[in-house]
Amino acid sequence: QVQLVESGGGLVQAGGSLRLSCGASGRILSINSMGWYRQAPGRQRELVATITPGGTANYADSVKGRFTISRDNAKNTAYLQMNSLKPEDTAVYYCYCRVGVMIWGQGTQVTVSS
Protein backbone atom coordinates (compact mmCIF):
# COMPACT_ATOMS: atom_id res chain seq x y z
CA GLN A 1 0.00 0.00 0.00
CA VAL A 2 1.04 3.58 -0.65
CA GLN A 3 0.64 6.28 1.99
CA LEU A 4 1.05 10.03 1.74
CA VAL A 5 2.15 12.24 4.61
CA GLU A 6 1.69 15.98 4.38
CA SER A 7 3.35 18.73 6.33
CA GLY A 8 3.88 22.47 6.26
CA GLY A 9 0.48 24.03 6.82
CA GLY A 10 -0.20 26.73 9.38
CA LEU A 11 -1.29 30.28 10.03
CA VAL A 12 0.24 33.16 8.10
CA GLN A 13 -0.60 36.79 7.44
CA ALA A 14 -1.69 37.94 4.02
CA GLY A 15 1.32 38.39 1.78
CA GLY A 16 3.25 35.70 3.58
CA SER A 17 4.55 32.33 2.40
CA LEU A 18 4.21 28.68 3.30
CA ARG A 19 5.71 25.51 1.87
CA LEU A 20 3.80 22.26 1.85
CA SER A 21 5.44 18.86 1.51
CA CYS A 22 3.90 15.56 0.51
CA GLY A 23 5.89 12.37 0.83
CA ALA A 24 4.86 8.96 -0.44
CA SER A 25 5.92 5.73 1.21
CA GLY A 26 5.08 2.06 0.93
CA ARG A 27 5.13 -0.34 -2.00
CA ILE A 28 5.82 2.13 -4.79
CA LEU A 29 6.65 1.00 -8.29
CA SER A 30 6.15 4.35 -9.95
CA ILE A 31 4.20 7.51 -9.26
CA ASN A 32 2.42 9.29 -12.08
CA SER A 33 1.12 12.74 -11.34
CA MET A 34 1.24 14.40 -7.92
CA GLY A 35 -0.40 17.55 -6.73
CA TRP A 36 -2.73 19.33 -4.38
CA TYR A 37 -6.41 20.05 -4.10
CA ARG A 38 -7.92 22.35 -1.52
CA GLN A 39 -11.28 22.68 0.12
CA ALA A 40 -12.58 25.73 1.93
CA PRO A 41 -15.60 25.55 4.26
CA GLY A 42 -18.82 25.33 2.30
CA ARG A 43 -17.03 24.99 -1.01
CA GLN A 44 -16.19 22.12 -3.32
CA ARG A 45 -12.72 20.66 -3.45
CA GLU A 46 -10.74 22.38 -6.20
CA LEU A 47 -7.54 21.53 -7.99
CA VAL A 48 -4.62 23.77 -7.04
CA ALA A 49 -1.59 22.36 -8.86
CA THR A 50 -0.33 19.20 -10.48
CA ILE A 51 3.04 17.98 -11.66
CA THR A 52 4.02 15.09 -13.90
CA PRO A 53 7.02 12.81 -13.32
CA GLY A 54 8.87 14.84 -15.95
CA GLY A 55 8.20 18.08 -14.11
CA THR A 56 5.41 19.59 -16.20
CA ALA A 57 3.28 21.69 -13.89
CA ASN A 58 -0.24 23.02 -14.17
CA TYR A 59 -1.96 25.49 -11.90
CA ALA A 60 -5.38 26.82 -11.13
CA ASP A 61 -5.79 30.33 -12.50
CA SER A 62 -6.28 31.64 -8.98
CA VAL A 63 -2.76 30.62 -7.91
CA LYS A 64 -0.73 31.15 -11.09
CA GLY A 65 2.28 33.33 -10.47
CA ARG A 66 2.07 32.84 -6.70
CA PHE A 67 2.37 29.07 -6.16
CA THR A 68 5.10 26.78 -7.44
CA ILE A 69 4.89 23.00 -7.42
CA SER A 70 7.97 20.80 -7.64
CA ARG A 71 8.88 17.19 -6.96
CA ASP A 72 11.84 15.02 -6.08
CA ASN A 73 11.25 11.68 -7.78
CA ALA A 74 14.10 10.02 -5.89
CA LYS A 75 12.36 10.89 -2.61
CA ASN A 76 8.80 10.35 -3.89
CA THR A 77 8.04 13.81 -2.54
CA ALA A 78 6.24 16.84 -3.92
CA TYR A 79 6.41 20.41 -2.68
CA LEU A 80 4.10 23.38 -2.99
CA GLN A 81 5.69 26.77 -2.43
CA MET A 82 2.95 29.29 -1.74
CA ASN A 83 3.88 32.96 -1.89
CA SER A 84 1.83 36.16 -1.70
CA LEU A 85 -0.85 34.30 0.18
CA LYS A 86 -4.33 35.78 0.32
CA PRO A 87 -7.19 35.20 2.78
CA GLU A 88 -9.06 33.39 0.00
CA ASP A 89 -6.30 30.77 -0.03
CA THR A 90 -7.52 29.61 3.38
CA ALA A 91 -8.52 25.96 3.09
CA VAL A 92 -7.54 22.41 3.91
CA TYR A 93 -4.96 21.35 1.35
CA TYR A 94 -4.93 17.71 0.28
CA CYS A 95 -2.06 16.24 -1.65
CA TYR A 96 -2.54 13.28 -3.93
CA CYS A 97 -0.57 10.95 -6.11
CA ARG A 98 -1.58 8.57 -8.86
CA VAL A 99 -0.20 5.05 -8.66
CA GLY A 100 -2.80 3.41 -10.82
CA VAL A 101 -5.36 4.62 -8.32
CA MET A 102 -5.54 7.98 -6.61
CA ILE A 103 -4.04 8.15 -3.13
CA TRP A 104 -4.80 11.06 -0.80
CA GLY A 105 -2.90 12.66 2.02
CA GLN A 106 -4.49 13.45 5.36
CA GLY A 107 -4.89 17.15 4.60
CA THR A 108 -3.23 20.14 6.18
CA GLN A 109 -4.86 23.39 7.23
CA VAL A 110 -3.66 26.64 5.69
CA THR A 111 -5.08 29.79 7.24
CA VAL A 112 -4.28 33.24 5.86
CA SER A 113 -5.27 36.18 8.03
CA SER A 114 -6.01 39.60 6.62
| pLDDT tens-place string over residues 30-88 | 899 999 999 999 999 999 999 999 999 999 999 999 999 999 999 999 999 999 999 99
10-45 pLDDT, tens digit each: 999 999 999 999 999 998 888 999 999 999 999 999
Spell out a b/e string for 27-46, using b for 16 or more CB atoms within 10 Å of the CB, else e. eeeebebbbbbbeeeeeeee
What pLDDT sits at residue 71? 97
